[in-house]
Amino acid sequence: MAKTDTYSFGTFDPQTFVKAFPFGDMSKDAMSAGTESAKASVKSFQDASAAVMRQAQDRMSMTVETSKTLAGVTSMEEALEIQSNYMRTAMKAHLDGLTELADIYSSAMKDCFQPFAGYMQTATTETKEAASKAKAS
């Protein structure tokens, strides 16, 4: 028979506590949620790294092509036009790259926390049901 202790707030029965709060299943579910979150985090970092590398390659290619074009100019006006176009294109590419990374990081946050949202909802529901059952018995 389980030992029952009396406290100032009432009687404590360890078996009733275990029935009311199924921590074993909850910790297993929390570990699963943590694993899924870690997987999503790794994928997000891979996506972000790939995007940064692709963007860097694109910028480098654009710079090399612009340099080649500048090498063949015959007037200062032509050089200024090429440089102006380069700056405009580079700025747009930079802003587009930042937008892409912001989208990746936004999705990453959602994907990383999603497993915990489901786990917490399930854990809360199970705990309330178990507490109600334990209280009824």
| Dihedral angle sign, alpha carbons of residues 99, 105, 108, 109 | negative
CA distances, 70 to each of 44, 57, 80, 82, 86 (Å): 39, 20, 9, 7, 10
Q: What is the pLDDT of residues 70-105, one digit of tens each?
A: 999 999 999 999 999 999 999 999 999 999 999 999
Q: Is the pTM of this model over 0.85?
A: no
pLDDT at 3 over 70: no
The mean pLDDT of the chain is: 83
Label residue 34 by pLDDT band (50, 70, 90).
confident
Domain ranges of the chain: 5-117
pLDDT at 115 over 70: yes
DSSP code, position 73: -
CA distances, 22 to each of 26, 37, 45, 125 (Å): 6, 22, 35, 11
